[in-house]
């Protein structure tokens, strides 16, 4: 959620129960402005909060040149002092972060032991050999960084046209974006995943008859598995507001004010993936 309309964005998300106390709002807004000035970010965003047993983690990110490739994530335990999240590249850390059954405790230096899934060697539909589950020890700080990255990659949303790809390859907020209209706001094809595209560019462009290369390079939310079931859309016509909730990561909520450039997403939850979604359909 952009800090420029932080208060208004939180008011929009109150319709679905996502809210912060007045003291937290003031403290977060002021501390994020200081964080932006100290790091000379072009834009600063409040990502959300992951609830812990002892302390909660407040998450924010900012960028300087490219709003997708250049993002730097920060976390805070008191909503005032911010520390940079480490960059995670090891696949075992991501796997351990997803499989960890314990809730977040609120101590970044806490070491957690996680049992990974066993690996199998398969040949012509027959299991040749299997290895025992591996035990991996990770810091809660690394687990937090992995979970934040995964949630953003899977269900961070922006409206079509909100991001613009320049000729030099940089991706920046579209200054000419004026919001979706009343006909577009209920169509999932007008919402995109807020990350670098994974699908082939020709595939994304071929889905639209009115394609525009600088804005249609991102993957749309209707390609997220399970198809057409990963998100739920609610339209508040009286408030001219669209609210989209993720069914995979419960607590991730997106809002967009119709015919306005204001949009954003916010996660408030325990950092656990909803593996029961297919049984709930």
pLDDT score recorded for residue 201: 79
Q: 106 lies in a domain?
A: no
C-alpha–C-alpha distance, residues 83 and 60, integer Å? 10
What is the average per-residue pLDDT within 116-139?
A: 84
Q: 118 lies in a domain?
A: no
Is residue 200 within 8 Å of 223, Cβ to Cβ?
A: no
pLDDT score recorded for residue 107: 95
Q: 126 lies in a domain?
A: no
Tens-place pLDDT, residues 234-278: 998 788 899 999 999 999 999 999 999 999 999 999 999 999 988
Q: 100 lies in a domain?
A: no
With 0-12 / 13-18 / 19 or more C-beta atoms within 10 angstroms meaning exposed / middle / buried, residue 180 is buried
Predicted TM-score (pTM) above 0.75: yes
Per-residue confidence at 119, pLDDT binned at 50, 70, 90? confident
Contact partners, residue 187, CB within 8 Å, separation at least 6? none
pLDDT score recorded for residue 209: 79
C-alpha–C-alpha distance, residues 198 and 91, integer Å? 18
Per-residue confidence at 123, pLDDT binned at 50, 70, 90? confident
pLDDT score recorded for residue 18: 75
Tens-place pLDDT, residues 14-43: 877 778 888 999 999 999 999 999 999 999
Q: What is the mean pLDDT of the chain?
A: 91
Total domains present in the chain? 1
Q: 99 lies in a domain?
A: no
pLDDT score recorded for residue 238: 82
Largest separation between any pair of C-alpha atoms in the chain: 61
pLDDT score recorded for residue 13: 86
End-to-end CA distance of the chain: 29
Q: What is the DSSP letter of 220?
A: B
Q: 212 lies in a domain?
A: yes
Residue-number span of the structural domain to which 68 is assigned: 6-87+147-279
Q: Is the pLDDT of residue 180 over 90?
A: yes
Q: 15 lies in a domain?
A: yes
Q: Is the pLDDT of residue 222 over 90?
A: no
Q: 57 lies in a domain?
A: yes
**SS3 sequence, 164-220?**
EECCCCCEEECCCCCCCCCCCCCCHHHEEECCCCCCCHHHHHHCCCCCCCCCCCCCE
pLDDT score recorded for residue 30: 95
Q: Is the pLDDT of residue 130 over 90?
A: no
| 281 vs 211, more confident | 211
- Residue 75's H or E segment, with its range, is strand 72-76
Per-residue confidence at 133, pLDDT binned at 50, 70, 90? confident
């Amino acid at each position: 959620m952009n800090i420029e309309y932080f208060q208004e964005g939180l008011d929009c998300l109150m319709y679905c129960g996502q809210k912060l106390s007045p003291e937290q709002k003031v403290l977060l807004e002021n501390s994020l402005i200081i964080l932006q000035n100290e790091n000379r970010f072009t834009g600063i965003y409040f990502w959300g909060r992951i609830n812990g047993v002892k302390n909660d983690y407040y998450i924010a990110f900012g960028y300087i040149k490219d709003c997708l490739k250049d993002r730097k994530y920060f976390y805070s335990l008191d909503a005032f002092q911010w520390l940079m999240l480490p960059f995670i590249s090891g696949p075992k850390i991501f796997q351990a972060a997803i499989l960890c059954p314990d809730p977040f405790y609120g101590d970044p230096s806490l070491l957690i032991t996680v049992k990974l899934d066993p690996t199998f060697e398969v040949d012509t539909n027959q299991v040749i050999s299997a290895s025992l589950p591996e035990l991996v020890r990770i810091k809660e700080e690394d687990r937090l960084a992995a979970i934040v990255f995964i949630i953003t990659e899977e269900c961070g949303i922006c409206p079509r046209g909100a991001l613009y790809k320049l000729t030099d390859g940089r991706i920046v907020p579209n200054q000419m974006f004026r919001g979706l209209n009343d006909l577009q706001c209920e169509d999932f094809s007008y919402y995109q995943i807020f990350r670098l595209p994974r699908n082939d560019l020709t595939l994304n462009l071929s889905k639209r008859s009115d394609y525009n290369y600088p804005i249609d390079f991102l993957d749309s939310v209707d390609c997220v598995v399970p198809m057409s079931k990963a998100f739920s859309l609610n339209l508040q016509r009286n408030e001219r507001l669209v609210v989209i909730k993720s069914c995979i990561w419960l607590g991730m909520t997106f809002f967009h004010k119709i015919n306005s450039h204001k949009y954003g997403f916010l996660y408030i939850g325990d950092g656990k993936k909803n593996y029961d979604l297919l049984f709930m359909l």
